[in-house]
Structure 1
Amino acid sequence: MELVNTTTLSTPSRVDQEDCGLHCRIVLIALYSVVLLGGTVGTIMMSRMMFKRKSQSVIATIILNIIVLRSVLDSLPLRLSYYVSDVWAFGFFTCRVVSGVIYGHMYFIFVFYVAIVIFRLLVYFKKLQVQRLQKFHAVVLSVVIWLVGSLVFLPLFFSQYGTNPSFSQEPRCFEFYKDLNRSELIVINYSVIAIMMTTVTALSLVEMVVIFQMVKALWPDMWAHQEYRAQIKSFFFLLVIFVCFVPHHAFRIYFIQNYSKKDHSQLVLYNEICVALTTVCCLDMLCFIGGLIH
């Protein structure tokens, strides 16, 4: 699984130039601050809305899972303190946990987004009947995703990343890119990239065909139809994946091939920005609350 987080910031005592410098830290502080504020507000408002509606639908249950995953926001203050002070003061184990949280959040969010899109497509193609589905089915689906995801993600991350003793010798954090000299991790990275790219591309093509067909059939009153609005929401989730997750995975290919060069400070900069960009998906609730997606 693609779990390599790479932050290497400068201190005067460091001989190498593997850091992304003050400019990198300013960008990351600004980006994580916006995500922390916007994500917290959006999650609270969406939680209140879901509580008032008390919906029992499959989609509502999946949205509740996404709200739970917003606990990633709790780890952002630790990241911000690191980028502000340029020193990690919370221990190496905490560093690994905070690094794992951001990647675990991304991949679980990806799975739940894909589950929403596939569910709505199956309903559209009449492969599923909503009337026959109960909250029990959504709960079972959620449990399966959490159980399988945890059994795959947790052992992989804690057994493969950050195991080199040299990582704990400095007050640094998020320098796990050094593990990429192991061929098995490179294979895992490429495999995850291929799975994500293939899945989101295929679903996007299907979704665009469905939306185009619905526009032709319902024009000009398509917004009055709930099914059309549901497909637009599905496409929005795919758009979030493209904007927030795909850049990181696309750049990861180039990063893996070039990180071992002597001067790769710019690679670290761009990779860290791509990692931070994955958390921007936490603003999705604000898009719904703010009416950008009706």
Structure 2
Amino acid sequence: MEPNNMTTLPNASNTEQGHCKGHCRMILITVYSMVLLGGTTGTVLMSRMMCKRKSQSMIAMIILNIIVLHSVLLVSLPFRLSYYILGVWEFGSFLCRLVSSIIYGHMYFTFVFYVVIVILRLLIYFKKLQMQKLQKYHMVVLSIVIWTTGSLVFWPILLLQYGIHPSYSEKPRCFEFYKDLNRGDLIILNYSMIVIMISTVVILFLIEMGVIVQLIKALWPDMWAHQDYRAQIKSFFFLLVIVVCFIPHHVFRVHFIQNYSEIDNSELVLYNEIFVALTTVCCLDMVCFIGGVIH
């Protein structure tokens, strides 16, 4: 496929790889703008609230990690907005790969911390873990393990393996690393992450629903007055965020990998970019807590 020297997105042909038509660009600009505004507001307010309360609980420490993740993603969003508004990438190939990797790193790290919250609360509910025995340093150690493991596994793959095709450096565009999906190792990696995420969510979702049903039967009609019920509802909320924001991208990813080709891919690329943008909506979780949607 010959490189295209056009510098703007609006003039790209419908079959040119990685380009969005006008309506796709508007959707992306709208989603990223909403996430940037709402996510920044929620992150700042939640940070202030946590500073005032000075909570030392394990859950509070996990929320702090999620706030850090959201902050990193939010810093990268103006670069994405600049690209979709102006139609040209002006920040170099390395920053393109870095900004692209941040959105995937944010998704998987956030997923891990969400899962940790759910599992901790389930262990406490089933009396396999006592909150009184958990100390601040336990969560600090766990956080360090998660960050270190994730950094050693994900970032080298995302930064060193994606976006290395020679044709990428010839174009003033970004986030168009689809030719890498022709490589067998990256296909296996993508399928592995899809299976791990979906399997984990299904198992935890079924367990969580069973626990909530049991609590409703035992505590009805005053279940909201009990801490155990409220804790499990919060866990269910995190699972719901995963289902709404992360699972659609992974389900579509299977279709994308199987049907993507360098010749005729414009529609798939368009939809894939939208599903990727949907993963950033999880940054609005703090707005839901601050706004009282989940108490």
TM-score (norm: length of structure 1): 0.95
Q: Match for residue 118 of structure 1?
A: 119
Counterpart-to-counterpart distance in 2, 1:284 and 1:67:
10
1:156-201 alpha-carbon deviations (Å, 9 max, x no partner): 1122111112111110100111111111111110010000000000
Q: Output the amino acid matched with 2:248.
A: P
Counterpart-to-counterpart distance in 1, 2:162 and 2:209:
38
Contact 1:161 1:176 (8 Å CA) reproduced: yes
Q: Output the amino acid matched with 2:207.
A: V
**Alignment of 1:17 onto 2:53:** no
Counterpart-to-counterpart distance in 2, 1:101 and 1:182:
21
1:71-116 alpha-carbon deviations (Å, 9 max, x no partner): 2100100000000111000000000000001110000000000000
Contact 1:9 1:20 (8 Å CA) reproduced: no
Query: Could you list the runs of 5+ residues in structure 1 that have no partner in the other structure?
Result: 1-7
Q: Match for residue 63 of structure 2?
A: 63
Contact 2:256 2:268 (8 Å CA) reproduced: yes
1:135-160 alpha-carbon deviations (Å, 9 max, x no partner): 01011111100011101011111221
Q: Match for residue 198 of structure 1?
A: 199
Q: Output the amino acid matched with 1:79.
A: R
Q: Output the amino acid matched with 2:39.
A: G
**Alignment of 1:153 onto 2:154:** yes
Aligned-residue CA RMSD in angstroms?
A: 1.4
Q: Output the amino acid matched with 2:180.
A: D
Question: Taking every aligned residue pair, what percent have the same amino acid on both sides?
Answer: 69
Counterpart-to-counterpart distance in 2, 1:98 and 1:65:
19
What pairs up with 1:7-156 in 2 under 5 angstroms?
10=9, 12=11, 16-18=15-17, 19-70=19-70, 71-156=72-157
- Deviates further, 156-165 or 121-130: 156-165
Distance of aligned partners of 1:197 and 1:136 in 2 relative to their CA distance in 1, 3 Å threshold: same
1:200-251 alpha-carbon deviations (Å, 9 max, x no partner): 0000000000000000000000000011100000000000000000000000
Q: Match for residue 3 of structure 2?
A: none
